[in-house]
Amino acid sequence: MKAVILSGGKGTRLAPYTMILPKPLVPIGHKPILDIIVRQLCYYGFTDITLTLGYLSELIQAYFSNVNDIHPNIEIKYIKESKPLGTAGSIGLLKEKINTSFLVMNGDILTSLNYMEFYKYHCEKKSIFTIQIMCK
């Protein structure tokens, strides 16, 4: 199954940390946020992952250069914005690359959402798109 993680923002509200790291690589405990998200996706069966990149993209690509250490069957692809396209603007870059249902998520948000159940729900309803909002 396919997932797209939006990972291109500058994370200006987390400065000075994001002056040297892209926000998805800011650690939570001992692992970057994006590492935790990728591991969660793998746990739920998503092994075809595309990261949309922008700011400090080379650091994210370097971090995942040995992605098989996380999961042996995972494939991570990268789409780089040539200029900032906004929160979800990079999804437009996927038009020619993905022709099936896929999960889209932010690369800086941790959640306890069961990605598989959410994806199944979307597919069962045959929706154009499905949005998950969690309030606590």
pLDDT digits (tens, 9 = 90+) for 4-62: 999 988 788 888 887 899 999 999 999 999 999 999 999 999 999 999 998 899 999 99
Rounded Cα gap, residues 129 and 123, in angstroms = 9
Domain count, the chain: 1
Look at residue 132 and tell me if it is in a domain: no
Look at residue 133 and tell me if it is in a domain: no
Bridge partners, 50 (sequence order)? 4, 77
Rounded Cα gap, residues 111 and 103, in angstroms = 14
Look at residue 19 and tell me if it is in a domain: yes
In this predicted model, what pLDDT tens digit does every residue of 53-99 receive, in sequence order? 988 999 999 999 987 777 778 899 999 887 777 777 777 777 777 77
Look at residue 101 and tell me if it is in a domain: yes
